[in-house]
Structure 1
């Protein structure tokens, strides 16, 4: 997807990025976030643990 198209989508009124949107990109390129995501394992764990979950099977 061209960057300009992605930026246009994100700037569109009411556009929201969902987890499923990101899953498509990371499935296509698993190392995609390596260039911009610089977090320690502890920071990632803390951020993930802070996310609410309605599914008890994920706990």
Structure 2
């Protein structure tokens, strides 16, 4: 899945939450999607690196 598809998915989910009244309608869905994507990349990549390093040490 391409980055643009992931960003579109996040933005669509935010818009759905806005329509349901779960998220402020004042937020820019595309900007929030960008922030969420960056956050996810920042937390997932270091975690994967730790797992990879642990696997190498056990070999």
What TM-score do the two structures reach when normalised by structure 2? 0.23
Higher normalized contact order (CA 8 Å, seq sep 6+, divided by chain length): 2
The structure with the greater share of residues assigned to helix is 2
What TM-score do the two structures reach when normalised by structure 1? 0.23
